[in-house]
Homo-oligomer: A and B are copies of this chain.
Amino acid sequence: MNTQQMAEKFTELCRAGQFETAGKQFWADDVVSLEPMTGEWARTQGRKDVEAKGKWWAENNQVHSIKVEGPFLHGDQFALRFEMEMTPKGKSRTRATEIGLYEVKNGRIVEERFLSGA
């Protein structure tokens, strides 16, 4: 499976809202996940901790709808654009856009990096 095929499978799962399954299937064991923020979740390494971050996020944000565009390809990197209607715990409903940039090695995601829109 080349990067394009892998990216397409990963995107399909995200589009179906199955982020956890997508991660379990395609993250490398030592995957690095980078968020555009400071603090505890800025850099997370390792499948177990990245899964914990996903769980924390899902518990603290109610997602009403999600739109996934992509994959955009360049060599062993691909990008997805996410558009979400969500309500963070204790806050009001908002619309968020984000780019996810993924680096692939041997059919696995070794790094994911999120860039946040306005």
- Hey, which bits of chain A sit against chain B, CB under 8 A? 34, 36, 69-75, 77-79, 81, 97-99, 101, 113-118
A117 pairs with B74, CB closer than 8 A: no
Number of copies: 2
For A101, the chain B residues whose CB sits under 8 A away are: 79, 101
Give the distance to chain B from A38, nearest Cβ to Cβ, in Å.
10
Give the distance to chain B from A114, nearest Cβ to Cβ, in Å.
7
A21, B116: Cα distance in complex, Å: 25
For A34, the chain B residues whose CB sits under 8 A away are: 74
A115, B79: Cα distance in complex, Å: 7
A79, B71: Cα distance in complex, Å: 15
